[in-house]
Amino acid sequence: MNLCDRRLGDLFQNQVLQEITSEDIVNSCMQRIEALEPKVGAFLSVDGDRAVARAREADRRNFGLGEYPSAVGGVPYAIKDNICVKGWATTCASKILEGYVPVYDATVVTGLDEAGAIILGKTNMDEFAFGSSTENSAFGRTRNPWDLDSVPGGSSGGSAAAVAAGMVPFALGSDTGGSIRQPAALCGVVGMKPTYGLVSRYGLVAFASSLDQIGPITRSVTDCAALLRAVAGHDPRDTTSVDAEIPDYLEGLDAGVKGRRLAYPKELMGEGLAPEVKLAVQNAIHVLEEQGADVEEISLPSLAYAVPVYYLVAPAEASSNLARFDGVRYGFRAPDTDDILSMYEETRAQGFGQEAKRRIMLGTYALSAGYYDAYYGQAQKVRAMIARELAEAFETYDALLSPTSPTTAWPIGERSDDPLAMYLSDICTIPANLAGIPAVSVPCGLAKGLPIGLQVMGPQLGEAAVLQVAFAFEQAFKFRARPPLLDGMPEDPPSTRVRSDAAKFAEFAAGIEQGVVDFTRPLREGDVSSDDGGRGRGGETGETKEADDAGDAGDTGDGG
């Protein structure tokens, strides 16, 4: 298994034990990207040089100064192109932001930077997150790694495809009506939308401010829990961010589901569900029952209105959020216009794609004088009813189960002419956004080679329970399939570090396993630069080392 396929926990341990370097992981991912990107098209931009430079910095920092990495330290990742990275073009897959370079980092980016993670590339998406297939991107197509003629789902299709194809160990996406969970389901990976407000939205280009959340896309529930902890937390720059203590989601993750009361809403298991999806989810329910959970069918009648509510509320908020794209301050401006009004109209006409225009129109109409009460106002009331019904269900049940998507991935182009058909595929995921509750999708089977996702939902701030149920299912079900695209992938490039003498590190490794190693200070005085291997520089050694390293330990670091 290549490094780019490994889980965060293994990558962490491998680095701490100095078996690999961060640069090795980056090189492994870059090789995978080179091999598969021409077929999959997950990325809008990749910056390998920047990643290698950061990896070298991570290697030096982590092992040179005795600071040990967090779960994501030294690990490269992909980030959806609607999340701002300072100095890196962020387009939201729209022509209206082509070439826009943010002057600040999103809070999640700052947090992950500090934890030592490394952005490798920005991923493709539906323009401004409007879509469920990534077909609405202005800059190209992303294909499902399980079947290149099928959609990866959306709007975080690029992020999900990148993780499914093993191009990166994890990615960040955003979810407004299912945009993390649905592509995760269609691409056979884990994707989670946290409680509204758990993860800062500062730096996320807004679609619907009361629904949006950034969340993890990973290959395992454990990784999801680790990553969620790394990005969650109060942010004074996001006034909708929750000020609650963030638990360690890894602790107690394996609590199991014995005696847990779970339920599935029959409204999400009925009409419109493909038979193979229904079978897979029913099987998943049996698996959980075998693990000791008590699963019942319940009825939540208001869920029948979730999609119409969403397609009034979300476009309304989007129409307001997209008013700023007017050619004045950033992005595309239509040339040759005589007055400000034509400049606005032409810029937006030429800069926005069809789905963006449709949603702006829909939202503007729903908010306009004479229609506000019947549309947006009424939708807000039905939203309250949906949220209340779900909250009441959680008074009895620990978590709710459903399919994530009513179907598996469909052929590219099949639904792109029928916007309403596309919207109806969000039926299972939308309720969690409307109610602001956490929800995760975990793979629960394949049908004709295409993945199916099981969704687990919980009450607000109930991430721990949601992850425990998902973990219990994942461990019992053992979904091990990988996209056939990955068959015969070449071995990793050679390591950048000189292979260490195993015996030399035996004591160190033993110490870690026995828990006697104290990670809060440098391990052994004088150990820092006595062996070049710890820096991962391979052949090029002490000569290129920064002077401060030699100063730290008083050793000469003369290139081992």
Partner 1 sequence: MGISKKDVEHVAWLARLGLSDEEKERFTVQLGSILEYAERVGEVDTSGVEPMAHATTLTNVFRDDVPTPSLERDEALGSAPEAEDGGFSVPRIV
Q: Which positions from 321 through 350 interact with partner 1, judged by CB under 8 A?
A: 323, 326-333, 337-346, 348-349
Q: Cα–Cα distances in Å, from 389 out to 2, 213, 249, 278, 301?
A: 46, 22, 26, 23, 9
Q: Are 108 and 203 in contact (CB under 8 A)?
A: yes
419 part of the interface to partner 1, by CB under 8 A: yes
Spatial separation of the C-alpha atoms in residues 513 and 521, rounded to whole Å: 17
Q: Distance from first CA to last CA of the chain, Å, rounded?
A: 29
Q: Is 364 a binder of partner 1 (CB under 8 A)?
A: yes
**CA-based R_g, the chain, Å:** 24
410/221 Cα distance (integer angstroms): 25
Which secondary structure element, helix H or strand E, spans residue 320, and what is its range? helix 306-321
Note whether 215 binds partner 1 by CB under 8 A. Answer: no
Each residue 436-475 as x (binds partner 1 by CB under 8 A) or -, in order, gives xx----------------------x---------------
The CA-CA-CA angle for residues 157, 278, 266, to 5°, reads 105
Residue with tokens 């828990």: 515
CB of 456 to partner 1, least distance (A): 18
Nearest distance from C-beta of residue 328 to partner 1, angstroms: 5
162, 204, 360, 466: which one binds partner 1 (CB under 8 A): 360
Structure token pair of residue 99: 């070439």
Question: Considering 22, 28, 70, 80, which one is annotated as catalytic?
Answer: 80
Total site size for partner 1, rule CB under 8 A: 71
**Residues 312, 393, 450, 456: which binds partner 1 (CB under 8 A)?**
312
Q: Which of residues 93-112 bind partner 1 (CB under 8 A)?
A: 100-101, 103-104
Per-residue x/- marks for partner 1, 388-407, CB under 8 A?
--------------------
Q: Give, in order, the Cα–Cα distances in Å from 124 to each of 10, 32, 42, 191.
A: 28, 17, 6, 16
Q: Of the residues 155, 156, 302, 402, which is catalytic?
A: 155
179 a catalytic residue: yes
Identified catalytic residue from 179, 319, 405, 425: 179
Residues 167-206 contacting partner 1, CB under 8 A: 196-197
Query: By CB under 8 A, is residue 423 in contact with partner 1?
Result: yes
Q: How many Å apart are CA 486 and CA 354, to the nearest integer?
A: 35
Give bridge partners of residue 88 from the DSSP assignment. Answer: 85
Q: Compute the C-alpha angle 497/503/508, nearest 5°.
A: 80
Q: How far is the CB of 481 from partner 1 (least distance, A)?
A: 35
- Taking the least distance from each CB to partner 1, the nearer of 317 and 474 is 317
Q: Which 485-514 residues touch partner 1, going by CB under 8 A?
A: none
- The only residue of 374, 481, 506, 510 in contact with partner 1, by rule CB under 8 A: 374
Contacts of 168 (CB under 8 A, 6+ apart): 4, 29, 76, 77, 78, 120, 121, 162
Residue 477 interacts with partner 1 (CB under 8 A): yes or no: no
**Rounded distance between C-alpha atoms, residue 58 and residue 52, angstroms:** 10
CA distance 492 to 62: 23
Per-residue binder mask for partner 1 (CB under 8 A), 47-76, x = binder: ------------------------------
Nearer to partner 1, 420 or 502 (CB): 420
**266 noted as active-site residue:** no
242 part of the interface to partner 1, by CB under 8 A: yes
Tokens coding 262: 């779970």
Residues 183 and 152 sit within 8 Å (Cβ to Cβ): yes
* Binding piece for partner 1, criterion CB under 8 A, among 61-69, 216-224, 361-369, 503-511: 361-369
88 binds partner 1 (CB under 8 A): no
Among 302, 405, 407, 468, binds partner 1 (CB under 8 A): 302
385 binds partner 1 (CB under 8 A): yes
Q: Which is nearer to partner 1, 332 or 473 (CB)?
A: 332
Q: Which residues are catalytic?
A: 80, 155, 179
